[in-house]
Structure 1
Amino acid sequence: MNTSHNQFILNGFNELGALRPFLFIPYFTMFVLSLSANSLLLYVVISVRSLHSPMYILIAGMAFVDLSLPLVFVPNMLLSLLFDWRGISLTGCLVQMYFIHFVGAFQSTLLVWMALDRYFAICTPLYYHERMSFSTFSKFIIPLLVRNVFIVLVVVILAGKLTFCFSNVIDSCFCEHMALVELACGSTTINSVVGLISVFLILVFDFLFTITSYIVIFSSMLRSGLSGAKALHTCITHIVVITVSLIIVLTAFLSFRIRNDFPAAIRVFFSTMYPLFPSCFNPIIYGIRTTEIRQHIWGILMCCCFVKTIPHSQETKLKRMVHLN
């Protein structure tokens, strides 16, 4: 009778041998960038009263998710790279898996809500505040949240019921679904099918819905006589980020299902990038490129740089000017 493993080894980038610890530097840099950029973006939206509108609240929500997702797995991965700490229990693995995939799904869902916000603001401006009120907008929030919780829970429960009798070495830097499932003995067809279905019901559905929303927005702006450049500025950045993120996610998911000569280190790289890449660059795209937020961030940075070199009276005046802007 086979005994199922309860302890696992996260063996990502093991092929690099002695070069593996050097990966600590780029991943730590991305981790610090993610934490600092998203924290600054959250601080600006929360502290500036003029930014307490639905669009900026959604941007703050994205910053909070982008701040949370790296905290779920990056510290453990950095310790593994630097000190070779690779062990994790099955329970810890399943908990980590749930939070990574749930927060990742929530990240995708936030893009849908942001697209809806822009659709209501541009295509139905007279009814914008009515449709973005919590009682009305919750009709779009609750169903998608229930979908995410249910689908991710089913995926993790099915993974937890498997018997792992062949190996306890996970070829990843964190507990990714298919990296764990491929260690199971017996049939894993249901897990693979459910995993693919979850990708299409969450990521692909959200992507198609968001793209459709922006196509409608772009068409509406052209029909109303607004300049194409303004329409492109409103839509293109969002679409590029969604497209790049989706490509990374699908590459990471499909690399575990397509058996070919795909290098293991490249596969692990994509699996770490799909939760980490958006967390680093979303605050730049949705924060720095948003004029109002950019102005307040610049004001805060200028205030921090020069506050020690000016008299106290001018310091107080400068701080007041920053908040008034």
Structure 2
Amino acid sequence: MSAINISALHPPEFILTGFPGYQGLQHWIAIPYCIMYILIIVGNFTILFVVFSEQSLHQPMYYFICMLAIIDLVLSNLILPKLLLMLLSEDYTISFQGCLTQMFFIHVFTVLESSALLTMSFDRYVAICNPLRYSAIFSNSFIMKIVGLSITRGVVFIMPLPILASRLPYCNSNIISISYCDHMSVVKLACADTTLNSSYGLVVIFLVVSDMSFIVFSYSMILRAVLKLGSGEERQKALHTCGSHLCVVVFAYSSATFSFITHRFGRALPPEFIVVFACLYLILPAMLNPIIYGARTKEIRRYVLNT
């Protein structure tokens, strides 16, 4: 099929799925999502304000926490404003190009979040297992290189997804099964062979899984080093320092894994469950991350309580 014919089969817009079976309760459903949105904005901006205001927090670990906060802010703003608009005005449409744009940025920042978690695990590994070289390794120039490499990696790996999706004809349906434009949810609507799209989607998933594998390896080495520390106080301090990172890592990857399973193998699940979880797996980490770091990081907690 020629490129012209394929472009002719692009729908002018897609229809996002709200909460099937709860049309009369859409305004009430908007309330908890609005509260979560406020908590995300307040929590993550608080983290950013505290770190940049307190000179003693100008350290690599806190810079990476800020990086994660920025990613969470962007991800939530890619999803929640449109979701709230859907619930309050019942406008479920999104343009074809707008859908591909949203797909691109959601997946780029999802990969960026995985990169941030991987970098934070490496930061803790060096700080605990090789503390004498920590300052030399995590210089400002090295941090900037990590950020630049993470962004480049995200863009390069994700760019093929909307390009491949734009080359497919969509002649069966234009109703997306969730409330935002996810790659597989859009590709499922195509009336052509989507093997290439699905295969490349698995490549991206493998990238994220490889990040998770390196994180597990880093923390296994950290645990090994902690157990060799002389005093129980030193062990407790080291474990407490890593505890907040581990909480975020476990929650982020477990929710992402469950979302992957429901997307690919969850046809028997109720559609309303898939819609709710598809949103929450991106929204909940953005809301809980600043709470976890605020509660478990003594320096951040002390600054917030004293202001």
TM-score, normalized by length of structure 2? Answer: 0.91
Q: Is residue 2:179 matched to residue 1:173? A: yes
Structure 1 residue 142 displacement after superposition: 4.5
Aligned to 1:289: 296
Structure 1 residue 76 displacement after superposition: 0.9
Classify 1:105/1:193 alpha carbon distance in 2 versus 1 (closer, same or farther; 3 Å).
same
5 Å-filtered alignment, 1:141-290, equals 141-201=147-207, 203-227=208-232, 228-258=235-265, 260-290=267-297
Please give the per-residue CA displacement for 1:176-221, whole angstroms capped at 9, x wherever unaligned: 11111111101112212211221121x2112111121111111112
Supply the distance in 2 between the matched residues of 1:153 and 1:206 (Cα, whole angstroms): 19
SS in 2 for 1:88: strand
Aligned to 1:311: none
Asked if the contact 1:65/1:103 (under 8 Å) is kept, the reply is: yes
Count how many residue pairs are aligned between Structure 1 and Structure 2. Answer: 299
SS in 1 for 2:94: strand
5 Å-filtered alignment, 1:23-34, equals 23-34=29-40
Structure number with larger C-alpha Rg: 1
Aligned to 1:98: 104
Please give the per-residue CA displacement for 1:245-301, whole angstroms capped at 9, x wherever unaligned: 21221222232221541111111112101211110001111233110111111112x
Supply the distance in 2 between the matched residues of 1:221 and 1:271 (Cα, whole angstroms): 37
Structure 1 residue 143 displacement after superposition: 4.2
Aligned to 2:47: 41
Aligned to 1:113: 119
- The amino acid of 1:295's aligned partner reads R
- The amino acid of 1:187's aligned partner reads D
Classify 1:39/1:135 alpha carbon distance in 2 versus 1 (closer, same or farther; 3 Å).
closer
Root-mean-square deviation (CA, aligned residues, Å) is 1.8
Supply the distance in 2 between the matched residues of 1:220 and 1:85 (Cα, whole angstroms): 55
Supply the distance in 2 between the matched residues of 1:14 and 1:104 (Cα, whole angstroms): 26
Please give the per-residue CA displacement for 1:59-96, whole angstroms capped at 9, x wherever unaligned: 11111111221111211110101110111111000111
Unmatched runs of 5 consecutive residues or more in structure 1: 301-325
SS in 1 for 2:264: coil
Supply the distance in 2 between the matched residues of 1:247 and 1:183 (Cα, whole angstroms): 27
Supply the distance in 1 between the matched residues of 2:243 and 2:153 (Cα, whole angstroms): 28
| Equivalent residue for 2:60, pick from 35, 54, 68 | 54
- The amino acid of 1:217's aligned partner reads I
